[in-house]
Amino acid sequence: MIPRVEPVKIPKVHVYCNGHRPATAFVSELFYGIAEAEDTTVLATDASFSRNRCRGDMTTVEKRQIYMLKYPRGYELVWIEDPENHPWTRDRCQPQNQHPELMETSCGG
């Protein structure tokens, strides 16, 4: 009899750009990136000058090393393109759940 082998569940790190702060006379527009573990622990954040740069900043070698501290046996990086409509982030994108600086913007920016 062959023993039954359970598939290995690979944990996920959810990464998304959670809104932005519009530019002012003193500050450039900023996009806020967040990486969360499956238990919703925030693993990393970043502020970037564009949405594309936000994605790059959240997936650098340095950030991936941080994610490995949480999941040393490996993880799947999941980039959430549309946080307002994704099941992982939908509730956290509601204005009452956002960081105070992001209250005037939508989650997707």
Give a yes or no: residue 21 inside a domain. yes
- Residue linked to tokens 């307002």: 84
Number of structural domains found in the chain: 1
Domain boundaries, position 42: 8-73
Report the distance separating Cα 68 and Cα 47, nearest Å: 21
Over residues 45-73, mean pLDDT: 92
Report the share of the chain in percent with pLDDT over 90: 43
- Residue linked to tokens 């970037």: 48
**pTM tops 0.85, yes or no:** no
Burial of 19 (0-12, 13-18, 19+ CB in 10 A): buried
Residue-wise pLDDT tens digits, 95-106? 544 444 443 443
Rounded to the nearest 5 degrees, what angle is found at the Cα of 77, between the Cα atoms of 95 and 107? 15
Report the distance separating Cα 39 and Cα 12, nearest Å: 10
Which has more pLDDT, 47 or 26? 47
Residue-wise pLDDT tens digits, 60-70? 999 999 999 99
Give a yes or no: residue 54 inside a domain. yes
- Average pLDDT of the chain? 81
